[in-house]
Structure formats: C-alpha cells, structure tokens
Structure 1
Amino acid sequence: MPDYDQEQSHFPVRAAMDRLSDGFMAMDRSWRLVYINPAASRLLEREPEEMIGRVVWDVVPSHLHSQFYEVFNRSMRDQTAMVLEYKDRYMEHWYQFHLYPGQDGLSVFFHDITVMKRLAQGAEQYFSTLFDQHPYGVCALNTEWELQRVNQSFASMTGYEPSELIGHKLGRFLPIPDGYPTGDSARTAAGEEIQHYPTIVRKDGSAANLECSFLPVIVGADIVAYFGICKDITDRIMTEKRLEESEQRYKSLSENAHDVVLYLSPDSIVEYVSPSVSRLLGYEQADWVGRHTRDIVKDIAVSEGPRRTAQCGASAHGTAVYQIKHRHGDILWCEITYKRIWNEQGELVRTVAVCRDISARRQAEEELRRSKDNFVLAQQIAGLGHFEWYLASGHREWSDETYRIFGYTREQFADAAEASRRIIHPEDLDMMEGMKERLLSRLSGDRRLSEKLEYEFRIRHGSGETRTIYAIARLLDDEDGRFVRIFGTVRDITGHKQTEELLRKSEKLKMAGQLAAGIAHEIRNPLTSLKGFSKLQRHATGEQADRYYQIMETEFTRIEMILDELLVLAKPNAACYKVWDVKLLAGEVAELLSSQAILNNVIIQMETGPDPCLVNCDKNQLKQVFMNVIKNAIEAMPGGGLLMVTTTVLREHVLVKVTDSGAGIPMEKMARLGEPFYTTKEKGTGLGLMVSLKIIEEHHGRMEFDSSPGRGTTVSIRLPAYQEETAFQQPS
C-alpha cells in the first residue's frame, strides 16, 4: 500500500483520489486510517484530521462494528474484494462499500446509493403493478413450469381463481411449448423467447385460442424462472377466419360480379379489374391493368353527370355518373362508386371502385319522372287533388292541386294538419272528426274494412266562399301487412251539387207532371163510372139500384186508396230512428202475412244467421217496405209456391232478400219498376213500390230487382249496418 502521508505533488494517485466523487479511505493492517479523501469526509460528515490515525471502528457506528469487522476481516484474510451495503438508520441513507485488500492494508471505496435504492424499490412496485394490472394474462413460473404467480387477467382467461392455479403445473391448464427445457436441464440452456399458440379448455368447458410468449429469467448463465404473457385471441381468430372467408367471397364476387370491380393504387393506376369489364364494356382486363384512370376515362367517357362525395373519418367515398362508350360504339349510362382506404398512419393504400350499368335505371327514372309529370298534369286537368297521412308520425301532406282546390298556398300554413283545422267549415268539424275515428277504428279490425271511405264536407275557400268537397280515403299497408298511412283524393263538387239541385228540382217538376197525369188517368176511370151509374141510378129500382150503389161504392174506395198513397208520398210521417234487428222485423211481417200465404198455397221460409242484423231505422217504415215486397211476392204466385226470406250481415251492410217462384217479370217491364202508377198487377196502382223505394233511399240503402220470365223474382234490400256496439231495442 502506498504511503499517503507523502507530498501530493510526489504522488499523482493521491491527487486523483482527492478528485473522486466516491468516498475513499485507506487503512493499514491494524485498521488505522491512513488516508481519507474529501468525498469520504463529506459522506461521513467529519473532518479528515478527526479520523486520520484512528482505528476505523472509532469512525464506524458501534451497532455496525460486528458486521463491518466480519466483512473487513474476511476480505483481508481471503485477500478477496467484497461489497457491503449499509443503511444509516438515522439519516435514512444507503451506502455501498467496495473493499479491495492488499499486503499493507485495505482500500475502501464507498458512495451514497439512496437514490438507486429508491429507484429499485419504485421499480419493484412498478413491476408488481404492471404484473397485476396488465390487460394480458401474465404468469411467473419456476424451472419446473409450476405457476408461482398469476395476475387476474390470466385467471379470467382460464376461468379459474388465482388460488386454483398457483402451485400447479402449467400443463394442467394449457400445453407447455414442445421441446422447451425444464428442471436442471434449463439451467444451462440458452435463454430464448418462444412463441406458443395453444387452444385451451376453460373451467366452464368452453374453448379459447391464446397467443403466449414465454421468456426465461437468466441469472449468470442459468435460467432460474420463466415469465409468460398470454393474450386471448379467440375473437381475432374468428375475425381472421371471417375475414378470410369474406375475402374469398369478395374475390369470388369480384370474379363473377355483374358490375366491374377495380382496385387502384394510391396514384390511380389500375391494379386489378374484374372479368366483367369484357361483358359490360367490351374491353379485356389487360386493356386496363397498369393504366391511369385518367387515360381510361378520356378514352371511354362521353359526358359526365353529377358527382357526390363524402368524407368519413380516415376514408372517403363518392359517386360519379358518366355516359360511357362501349368498345363497339353503344352508349351506356354508368355509375362509378369509389372508396379510398387509408392505413393507420394516414397513408392512402388503395381505392376500390365499382362501375355499374345504370342505363335501364336511368330509363326507368325518366319514365317515372314523366309518369309523375303526367300524373300531376292529369290531376290538374281533372281537378283532382290527393293527400297522405302517415300514421306513425302524424305527418300529413297535400298535393299542389289540393292546395289549389282549397284556394291556398303552401306558404300560408306550417303544415297540412294546421290547414285542415282552419279551413273545414265549423258545422262539419264534428262530422269530419267522426269520419277520422271511423277510419282509424279499422286499424285493429277486420282487414276487409280497409275499403275506401267516401264522404263530403264543406270548406272555407281562400276566396271566402263556402265550397263542397268530395273525398275518398283508404288505409294502405306495408309489405308486412301493417297499416301505415291513409291516402285519399279530393274534388271540388260545388258546381256538381248546384247542378244536382237543379236536376232535383227539375225531377220534382217532372214527377209532379207524371203524378198529375197519373192522378187524372187513375181518377178519371172511376169518375167516369160514377158519372154513368149516377145517371142510371135515376131510373133504377130494387136490386138493380143496390147493385149500382155497390159499384159506385167500389169506385169511391179506389179513389180513396189512391189519395191515401199520394198523401204518404207528399207528407210522410216524421221518422223515428232507433237501432232494430232487421231479421226480427222481417220475421214479424212474414208471420203477419202467413194467413194470406196459406190461402194462396204459398210456403214462407225464413233463413237467418245467428248474428243480429242491426240497422238504425224507422221500424214502421221498414215494416211497410217488407209488407209491400212480401205481399207482392205472395200475389205473384197465384198457384202457390215457395217464398224465401233471408237476412245476412255483409261487411258494412245488412242484406234482406225476398225470392218468389212466380212467373217472373219481363226485361222490358223491369226498367219501369218504381214509376208512379206503373204496376204489373191487374188491380195495383204502382204507388206501393214507389213508396218503398223512397223509404229505402231515406235510409241510405238501395233496392235491386233480379227477375226473368219463368224463374221468379228476387228483391234485394241493402241497408247500412249499425257499427257501434250499443244496446238495441227489440221490436214489439
């Protein structure tokens, strides 16, 4: 050992020691300090003069004497360099001592390792946190591949709890990589990472695909442990499988597609074109591959239509329409749709384009546009508007012609619903609300009730007039059969109603003339008889006079009957409408006429269903109609026969049929049925049928006749069925 007491200028080594940042001290074989550099003085917080020449144990804290003496002594005895770490219990500082023995004594280098120790402790905590919180499954194994530690991700991946895994062989839960060394053989093996892709069976029996990396932990030249990192790639495997299948399908579609599919490089060079380019445009694949799209478009494009582009995140797509010239000269309309694809770095990697022949679609669109224009023009010419009401949203729309019919513009109303509320005549609002409820009530009812609904209402026209509108509405369904909207048409029938009123007045005058002529004819005959027999009566006596009186009384009775029926037509009694069961009314009349039927050898047979045939009607008026029709049928069979009376409910109507087996009515006479004083009976007036027709018309029904000579006559009476489910009164 050098003599550190010599002058510094004579010993360059000492000058170097004085400049060291680490502490350095030298002692002789008697453990006396012979040199301490400034750094050691600072670390020990004592001046060199206080320590030089003193035994080292006087400098070292007493509680460390035994530890330091053992290490120092062993280093000197064995002449071996050693390392010692010491923590100052008061200052919370760590120091590391490096001992180098020599023949003359011991040299000690030491430095403060507190920061390094704290970093190491932080690293351990960081490692533990990283291990436990890592999103992948992490495990630590010994050289026998026994699990020593696992994080929760690894446990969840296998379906076991950590306590069920630790201490067990890895192979119990997932296969150990083939050929990987274990036990003592691992201690001398080269430490290499191995990738492993096992399929495991979880605790619940389900399968999972894992991607595992096993790393050896090497100390010196030996493998002392393994770390494993596993990732569940089941979803990725499935995705890759689906992607592969998708790519295969897409390739197959591209090869067999009706449209032309192109792959373009980032600089718009055609890398691939599907074989359909030959069929669609007459070109071979080789004609386009390797060419710039600009040059291809220049060769084949005749004109360009509208473009549509959109930017979506890292990709963009768009559509362009071109008139394209086929290689053989035909002109086609083609729609080219493209999509640009970027990678994660934002670099354009490919453009996929699809070219589709839309010539037929363009033609269909043109025809549709022309059809729509014709439809609008036809509505304008016919004065017919239309409306739509979407049930889900409540949105309503009117056509331009509807606004014109109502005398308003779209700008005058926020929407059609507001317009409806403002322009309908106040007196018709309740009626319109009832029609709406009636139409909507069919949503959950019989689908057969989706037939059109016709109604009239009045509006306040934009000009200030009150006008009459005729509307037809119908429920429309979608492909699933659900009612989704109401569609209807409107027409201004104000002029028609005025003309109809004029015709009605004209018809009344005509009817009055017919009645006057009929009255004159029907009454003139009995009056002529009365006039003649009154002259004869002057000279008649006895039985002859009585017979003349009887004849005159008969003629008076006929005049009285004619006048009674005329009074029914002229001043009918006030109707009293209630809900009645028509089949019961018809049955009562049939029962009332059964005696007359028996006298005429006629059998009346009633056929009615189990359901009531409810009608809102005047009971007495309908009985009068049934009486007239059934009586006529009995009289049409003087030789007897079968008379059938049937009642049926058909959708929104009640149908009553009266069928006889008489001689029938010739076609030329059928057209005049219902005319005043026209009758097919010898002693009839023709007014009974006219009165019946008038009653049925007032009940918003209709009466029809079906007859031909030799097969009898059927009278069909249709009346509106009562819709609401309310109690009804039975006829008494």
Structure 2
Amino acid sequence: MNDQLLFHHTLHHSPIGMAVLNLEGQILQANDVLCKMVGYTEKELFLLSSDTITHPGDLYLDTYYLGKFLNEDINECQFQKRLFHKNGQMINVLINVSLVRNEKQQPFLFVSQIQDITKQLKNEEIRRITESRLNHFLDSISDAFLAVDHQCRYTYINKEAERFLNCPREEMIGKVMWEFFPDEINSIFYDQFYRALINKAPVKFEKVYALTETWIEVRIYPSDDGASIYFSDITERKKIEKELRDSEERYRTFVESSADAILVCSCDERLVFINEAGINLLGVYHKSEVIGLPVDQFFLPEDLADFKEKFRSILLNSPFQNPIVVKLLRPDGSIVEVEATCATITYNGQKSIQCIARDVTERNRLDQHVRKSEKLSLVGELAAGVAHEVRNPLTSIKGFLQFTQNLKEYKEEYVEIMLQELERVETIIYEFLTLAKPSETLVFSEHDLELLLTQVVTLQETQAIMKNIEIKTKFSKVPLISCHPNQLKQVFVNIIQNAIEATPAKGIVTVQIDLINVDMVGVTVIDNGCGIAKDRISRLGEPFYSNKEKGTGLGLMVSHKIIENHKGSILFQSEEGKGTIVKILLPLHPCKSS
C-alpha cells in the first residue's frame, strides 16, 4: 500500500475528526467524524473555508498560527477554538495541526485532527462551579474541616481548621499531617483515624487538643480518596455537662439524704423511684420490694377513687397548691397518715409525678390531743366565768332574801334590786346562748342600715341624756344591706352603749355610716372618752375581759361573733385621754363574700 492510500485509509477510519486544508484554509478532504461533528457533508465542506465555520472571536487564532507556520519554521501546534455546527450550535474543539511540506521543504498542506471537547469543558465548568460552591460552603461552616489522601497528605483545609490549627493552609496543603503534628502519633486520634480507614466506617470520638487545652469532638469519614475529618470545639458543652453532672449528684445526694420521703410515680401509676426516707415511710427493708409496684396498693380501698382523681389532675399539670393529706397502708397492715405535695416532672425521659411526703401520724395525734386539751381548758374557763358571773348576782339576791326574811316585812327597793340582779343573770345566759348558736341557722334579708341605726340611737339617747352626753349622727346614703337585723342591732347597742359609758358628762358620741366601696359599708362610732391602753386593745373580745368594773367581756365577744357571721370585721383605734374609734366593716351581700 503506497503512502497516499495509507493516508486516505487513516483519514477516513480515524476515531476523531480529520481534515486536509490548503494554505488558504480551504478544506480539501474531511472524514465522516468531522462531517458529523459540524453537520455538513464532505462536499459542502469543500465549498467552505475554515473561516466560515469558525467563531468570529477565534478567527485570529488561524491567522496567528498560520504566521507561525510560515515564518517561524514550526511544523505542528495545538489550540482550542469554537466552531459553528450547521444548525448554528457552537462547538468547542481541540485542534492539532501538522504542516506538510513539499519536496522543496516549502509549506504545502495542513492536516488537522479535531476533537469535540464541548461536553468535557462543560463538565469541567460544572466541576469548577461545584468545587467553588463546596469550598465556599466548607469555609462558612462553624466546624473545622480538612481532607487528606491515603498518604495522609492534606488536600483541603477550611478557614475554621486553619484558625484552629493556627497554621496557614497554604503551608499545609500537600504535606503529611503527622509531620505537622508528630505528638498525635499513637494518640487516640491516630488510632481512630486508621481504624476508620481499615474498617471503611465513620468514627466519632472526643479528646483534649493539647495545643489549646480544649475539648474537641472529631468525626472521621473514610472515602476512596482518603478521609474527611470534622472537628468542633466542645469545651463549653463539656463544662455544662460537668456542671449538670455535679448538679445531678448534689440533687441525688439531697434526695437520698432528705428527711422527707421522695417518691416518683410513672404515668401508669407505678413506683419508679423512692429514697431512704420513703422506704422507712412505707415500712419496707429495701427499695427492690416496692419499685415497679402499682402505687394504688398502698391506699385504703375507700380512698382509691379520690387518689386516682388527684393523680389524673396532677398529670394534667394541675398541681395542688396546698399539701394533700392521705392515709397509706403498709405491707404489715399498719396505717400512716401522710402529708404530701405533688407535681409533674420528667424522670428518665418520661413524664412522671414526684411526691414529697412526710409522716404526720404522730403530729396529728398530738394536734388532736392539744385541741382536746384546749377545748377542756376553754370549757373550764367558761365554766369558771359563768360560775363567777352568775354567783355574784345570786349572792346579792340570797342576801336580800335573808335580810327580808329576818325583817319579816316587804320592801319595794329590795325587790327592785333583786329583779335587776335576776335580769343580769338572764343577760349573761342569753349572751352565752348567742355564742353557742351556729351561724348557718341565720336567715339574711335586705334592710335599710340607716333605719336600723336610727332605731338603736333613739333607744340609747335616753341613757345619753341622763349622762348629759350628745349623740351626733352622720349618715351617708348607702344601698340596702343583706343582714340579720336583730343581731346587727345588738352589736350597735353594745358598741354605742360602751361609748356612752366611757364618755364623760358634756361629751359627744358620733355615729357615722359611709360607703367604703361598691361592695362594702362602714359604721363608725367615735367617743371622746377616757380611751383604752394600747396593750389592752388586742385583748378586746376575749371572754371575761373588760375595761368596765362590772363588765363580763361577753358583749364584745358576742359582737365579734355576729360581725364574723356577716363576713365583716371590727377595728379598734384608741388613745388614752382622747377617746376611741370603733369601725365596723360590713359587706352589702355577705353570702357572696369570701
């Protein structure tokens, strides 16, 4: 086969595009690969020059390399340029041009090898953009990141890793990391790094980075190219974890050593935690005897329904503001009274109820004993008071009866004195009955407070006139008040009568009515009498304690009880030598007041 046939065979069977051009750039031959590349037939290409299918921006390349061939005695070159497909689409090509000389070694023809690199360039651009974006992302993350190849040479280091390692990344890229950090050889990092590579599985661990004395979390991900390594500063997290562990330890110590029983129940009403005091409270020897048991087995059958209702209420985040008192049934059959506060907590990741309980069995027994003793003491005090108060008038009556019996004659003045003493006995008995009457038997109805006070003042004016005392009234207009009229009158009589008795001749007693607010009225009685010592004001209302010579103290005690039944209050303000102010506060509707 001669050279011409060999060239023709090579041209038309080449896997890449090939063409033969004259020195003017006209195409003389083109293979099928090139024709398919540019969309023209070979005959169409014969009619075209290379300039026709070249991008205008790349025409200078043909001129430039033609000059080099003709003037610089070169025989081949390689360059990239853009061609136009017949359909107008642009193609990026890599061209290798060889100059063929004639027998006289003069330039004769060009043989061009043309490869379509459009897809390759596009992929390279995508890769470049992807790399740029990845580098930007890795530089913006808060974790330090670096990549190494299988020889442990750095191939990438982000900004955070550069800052953390305190070394310019330009100096580290391409270098073996053990050269920079020889102290890490045979460390946990060294072991875990090769473990990840050998097992081809990610690893995560924590260590102290000696150069900065900080805790770091390291994550190593092996790959075909080597390994990607992330590490982040967790010093603050470790500090918080330590504080949390210390806090938990302190809390556990507190719980275990607490004198109060602390129990935790799960949502399914089972005991999941109990401290030492709780073990003693339930009367068992070890927590293993009760952990996991349903808590309802520690309650009396009659208390179960109430317990379950309270349990559900607490689970719905409605804790009891005040301690609850329950009775617990121990395994030995004994019963203990317990005072407990309960609230929802998270225990082992689960919503639970924590109860802080205290055995109040002995305390309640002592309280009951004290209350019984107080009742007996009060009964004894009242009995002594009654005996004393009733004995005095009875002694007077007995004396006058004996005196009359001896005289054997009737004397009107003696009968009058005895009747007065009997009335005094009757008054004492009535006041005791008033104290004993339960408040719930009272029936309230609406009344005009001004009318009630006017009636009382009218009754008391006779006594005031006899002592040369003036009673003044200052009544503001107030709404009707719901009350028991006769009992309120009794209070007003007691207070106004005390004021008259404490006021000297030519003195003044003032009675006022004021509207305190939309729900409250006030009745004030003011006198300019002798006043009351400060240390005695607090004892006003005690039985058998009185400022008056023959007073029993029961009047004010009864008054307090009546006003208390009306949901009101009595206030005293006094100064010796200047007088006393008694203020009675009454709600307009006591049944609606708390």
TM-score with structure 2 setting the length: 0.54
Matches of 2:488 and 2:225, distance apart in 1 = 89
Q: 2:184 aligns with which of 294, 300, 314?
A: 294
Structure 1 counterpart of 2:325:
456
Q: Is 1:642–2:512 an aligned residue pair?
A: yes
Which structure has more relative contact order (CA 8 Å, sep 6+)? It is: 2
Matches of 1:268 and 1:606, distance apart in 2 = 100
- 1:290 shift after superposition: 1.0
Contact 2:215-2:235 within 8 A present in 1 as well:
yes
Matches of 2:515 and 2:84, distance apart in 1 = 105
Q: Is 1:247–2:133 an aligned residue pair?
A: no
**Secondary structure in 1 aligned to 2:84?**
coil
Matches of 1:645 and 1:629, distance apart in 2 = 19
Contact 1:264-1:352 within 8 A present in 2 as well:
no
- 1:339 shift after superposition: 0.9
Q: Which amino acid aligns with 1:563?
A: I
Q: Which amino acid aligns with 1:426?
A: P
Q: 1:405 aligns with which of 270, 281, 284?
A: 281
Contact 2:338-2:358 within 8 A present in 1 as well:
yes
Contact 1:268-1:293 within 8 A present in 2 as well:
no
Matches of 2:574 and 2:227, distance apart in 1 = 90
Q: Rate the CA distance shift 1:684–1:378 in 2: closer, same or farther, 3 A.
A: farther
- 1:294 shift after superposition: 3.2
- 1:248 shift after superposition: 3.4
- Cα deviation, 1:570-627, whole Å, max 9, x if unaligned, reads 6x569569xx9xxxx4855957844445546364776899xxx9xxxxx98xx99877
Matches of 1:643 and 1:606, distance apart in 2 = 8
**Secondary structure in 1 aligned to 2:254?**
helix
Structure 1 counterpart of 2:218:
338
Q: Rate the CA distance shift 1:431–1:512 in 2: closer, same or farther, 3 A.
A: same
Structure 2 counterpart of 1:562:
428
**Secondary structure in 2 aligned to 1:453?**
coil
In structure 1, runs of 5+ residues without a counterpart are 1-140, 145-177, 194-220, 255-260, 279-286, 299-308, 444-449, 478-483, 614-618, 650-655, 723-727
Structure 1 counterpart of 2:75:
none
TM-score with structure 1 setting the length: 0.45
Contact 2:220-2:229 within 8 A present in 1 as well:
yes
**Secondary structure in 2 aligned to 1:464?**
coil
Q: Rate the CA distance shift 1:336–1:508 in 2: closer, same or farther, 3 A.
A: same
Matches of 1:608 and 1:342, distance apart in 2 = 91
Q: 1:368 aligns with which of 247, 253, 272?
A: 247
Matches of 1:432 and 1:696, distance apart in 2 = 39
Matches of 1:683 and 1:364, distance apart in 2 = 73
Structure 1 counterpart of 2:378:
511
- 1:473 shift after superposition: 4.3
**RMSD in angstroms over aligned alpha carbons?**
6.2
Q: Is 1:428–2:303 an aligned residue pair?
A: yes
- 1:640 shift after superposition: 2.2
Q: Is 1:709–2:574 an aligned residue pair?
A: yes
Q: Rate the CA distance shift 1:705–1:533 in 2: closer, same or farther, 3 A.
A: same
Matches of 2:343 and 2:517, distance apart in 1 = 28
Contact 1:389-1:396 within 8 A present in 2 as well:
yes
Matches of 2:231 and 2:280, distance apart in 1 = 50
Contact 2:513-2:521 within 8 A present in 1 as well:
no
Q: Rate the CA distance shift 1:264–1:694 in 2: closer, same or farther, 3 A.
A: farther
Matches of 1:386 and 1:648, distance apart in 2 = 49
Task: State how 1:167-316 maps to structure 2 within 5 Å.
Answer: 181-183=84-86, 246-250=137-141, 253=142, 263=146, 265=148, 275=163, 290-292=180-182, 294=184, 315-316=202-203
Q: Rate the CA distance shift 1:493–1:598 in 2: closer, same or farther, 3 A.
A: same
Matches of 1:181 and 1:562, distance apart in 2 = 129
Q: Which amino acid aligns with 1:641?
A: V
Contact 2:82-2:92 within 8 A present in 1 as well:
no
- 1:317 shift after superposition: 1.8
Task: State how 1:655-674 maps to structure 2 within 5 Å.
Answer: 660=524, 662=526, 666-674=533-541
Q: Which amino acid aligns with 1:555?
A: E
* Range 430-439 or range 484-493, more displaced: 430-439
- 1:520 shift after superposition: 2.5
Structure 2 counterpart of 1:500:
367
Q: Which amino acid aligns with 2:412?
A: D
- 1:493 shift after superposition: 0.7
- 1:523 shift after superposition: 1.4
Q: Rate the CA distance shift 1:533–1:602 in 2: closer, same or farther, 3 A.
A: farther
Count the aligned residue pairs. Answer: 438
Richer in helix (by share): 2
- Cα deviation, 1:667-707, whole Å, max 9, x if unaligned, reads 4224434532224577764346656878999x9x9997654
Contact 2:147-2:227 within 8 A present in 1 as well:
no
In structure 2, runs of 5+ residues without a counterpart are 1-36, 41-80, 95-112, 167-176, 189-195, 459-470, 501-508
Contact 2:496-2:525 within 8 A present in 1 as well:
no
Structure 2 counterpart of 1:147:
none
Q: Which amino acid aligns with 1:385?
A: I
Contact 1:676-1:687 within 8 A present in 2 as well:
yes
Q: Which amino acid aligns with 2:413?
A: R
Matches of 1:238 and 1:602, distance apart in 2 = 96
- 1:472 shift after superposition: 3.3
Matches of 1:680 and 1:239, distance apart in 2 = 102
Q: Rate the CA distance shift 1:292–1:264 in 2: closer, same or farther, 3 A.
A: farther
- 1:554 shift after superposition: 2.2
Matches of 2:368 and 2:331, distance apart in 1 = 24
Structure 2 counterpart of 1:76:
none
Matches of 1:676 and 1:648, distance apart in 2 = 34
Q: Rate the CA distance shift 1:690–1:633 in 2: closer, same or farther, 3 A.
A: closer
Structure 2 counterpart of 1:73:
none
Q: 2:340 aligns with which of 471, 475, 479?
A: 471
Q: Rate the CA distance shift 1:437–1:367 in 2: closer, same or farther, 3 A.
A: closer
Q: Is 1:318–2:221 an aligned residue pair?
A: no
Task: State how 1:329-728 maps to structure 2 within 5 Å.
Answer: 335-343=215-223, 345=224, 348-354=227-233, 356=235, 360-361=239-240, 364-365=243-244, 367-369=246-248, 371-376=250-255, 379-380=258-259, 383-385=260-262, 399-400=274-275, 401-408=277-284, 410-412=287-289, 415=292, 418-419=294-295, 421-432=296-307, 452-473=321-342, 488-538=355-405, 539=407, 545-567=411-433, 572=437, 585=444, 588=447, 590=449, 593-596=452-455, 599=458, 601=473, 603=475, 639-643=509-513, 660=524, 662=526, 666-679=533-546, 685-687=552-554, 707-709=572-574, 712=581
Structure 2 counterpart of 1:205:
none
- Cα deviation, 1:25-61, whole Å, max 9, x if unaligned, reads xxxxxxxxxxxxxxxxxxxxxxxxxxxxxxxxxxxxx
Q: Which amino acid aligns with 1:461?
A: R
- 1:548 shift after superposition: 2.8
Contact 1:452-1:473 within 8 A present in 2 as well:
no
Q: Which amino acid aligns with 1:548?
A: Y
Contact 1:636-1:660 within 8 A present in 2 as well:
no
- 1:291 shift after superposition: 0.9
- Cα deviation, 1:174-213, whole Å, max 9, x if unaligned, reads xxxx966254788xx98859xxxxxxxxxxxxxxxxxxxx
**Secondary structure in 2 aligned to 1:640?**
strand
Q: Rate the CA distance shift 1:547–1:372 in 2: closer, same or farther, 3 A.
A: same
Matches of 1:397 and 1:689, distance apart in 2 = 58
Q: Which amino acid aligns with 2:333?
A: G
Contact 2:150-2:226 within 8 A present in 1 as well:
no
Q: Which amino acid aligns with 2:299?
A: I
